[in-house]
Amino acid sequence: MKIIAVCGMGIGTSVLLKMNTEKVLRTLGIDADVEAADIGVARGMARDAEIVLTSEDLAAEIGDVEAEVIVIDNFFDLEEITAKLTSALE
C-alpha cells in the first residue's frame, strides 16, 4: 500500500505527517510505504497511491485521482490519524 503525506512545500509539515502516519500504521500492524510530498509532486504521485493525507486547504488541489484523499485537521493528533486511516481501510 502506498500513502502520500502532502503539504504545500513538502518539507516540514508533510514529513511530520509521514512520521506520525508511520507510527499509527506500526501500531495497527499495517505495512505501507508512506512518502512525503509537496502539492505539485503529489498530483503525480497520487496516481499510484491508495491514500493521500493532507490538510483541508490542499485537498481540492490534489485533483481528480483514484486515491482516497483524507483531510487531517491536526497533523500531531495520532488519534485522529488512527481513526481516519482505520475508517478508510475498512
Decide: residue 48, CB within 10 A, 0-12 exposed, 13-18 middle, 19+ buried: exposed
Give me the domains of the chain, ranges plus CATH numbers.
Answer: 2-83 (3.40.50.2300)
Catalytic residue (choose from 7, 45, 53, 69): 7
Whole-prediction pTM value?
A: 0.91
Is-catalytic flag, 7? yes
2: enclosing H helix or E strand: strand 2-7
| pLDDT per residue as tens, the chain (90 positions) | 999 999 876 568 889 999 999 999 999 999 999 999 988 888 888 888 999 999 998 888 887 888 899 999 999 999 999 999 999 988
pLDDT of residue 45: 82
pLDDT score for 26: 96
